[in-house]
Structure 1
Amino acid sequence: MNAQHYRLHIERRDPDLNMARFYALSIEATLFGQTCVVRRWGRIGTRGRTVQHSFDNEGEAVGFFLALLRAKKLRGYRPRSAARHAEATPSA
């Protein structure tokens, strides 16, 4: 089924806007043999919301996963360590 594990956690922080958000993506198998993309998002420190998208094959799921990743990167989401580093670095 899943030859490779896809799991991602990214964050977007902006203290000036009181913004601290997370976005988590994973590709998992369902009990019915389908592949699904599980999305979780919300304010850091909360459970957030969860949505599951089912696909008939892994290729479609990976394409959807990558499209979501590109969209979130354009909105300023970064991996956890990069998000914390950006918060700690004062802007000029």
Structure 2
Amino acid sequence: MDFAQRRVRRFDMSPPRSIDIDQIHIVLERVDPAENMARYYVLSVGPTLFGNSALVREWGRIGSRGRRRSEFFDQAAEARVALDTWLARKTRRGYVARRMRP
């Protein structure tokens, strides 16, 4: 048995069964060809490695890498409230949920 086989056996990379994985992923777009505007905004809530919850926001021009910012919360409910707040802000600014592409 070589080193790589021992390493695979020793470390099980499956997620822990005791953690309830409650993840939310919302993709928004705002496109206006008259103003040469094509933007995206992604809101995600998920668990961190330390058992907290994180709200991850990503935004930028469609086709570009964009920016990313993370906020960490002790409770998943707090992260969900922050997600709802950002979702309301972005829908007021004209962002809509991205349509599924074939």
Q: TM-score, normalised by structure 1?
A: 0.83
Q: How many residues align?
A: 82
Q: Please list every run of 5 or more consecutive structure 1 residues that lacks an aligned counterpart in the other structure.
A: 83-92
| Higher Cα radius of gyration | 2
Q: Which has the higher contact order (CA 8 A, sep 6+)?
A: 1
Pick the structure with more helix per residue: 1
Pick the structure with more strand per residue: 1
Q: Identity over the aligned pairs, expressed in percent?
A: 43
1:1-92 equivalences under 5 Å are: 1-2=19-20, 4-81=22-99
Cα RMSD for the two superposed structures: 1.5
CA, structure 1 residues 48+2, in 2 after alignment: closer, same or farther (shift >3 Å)? farther
The ranges of structure 1 where at least 4 consecutive aligned residues each deviate by more than 4 angstroms after the TM superposition are none
C-alpha separation in 2, matches of 1:4 and 1:54:
15
Q: Please list every run of 5 or more consecutive structure 2 residues that lacks an aligned counterpart in the other structure.
A: 1-18
Q: TM-score, normalised by structure 2?
A: 0.75
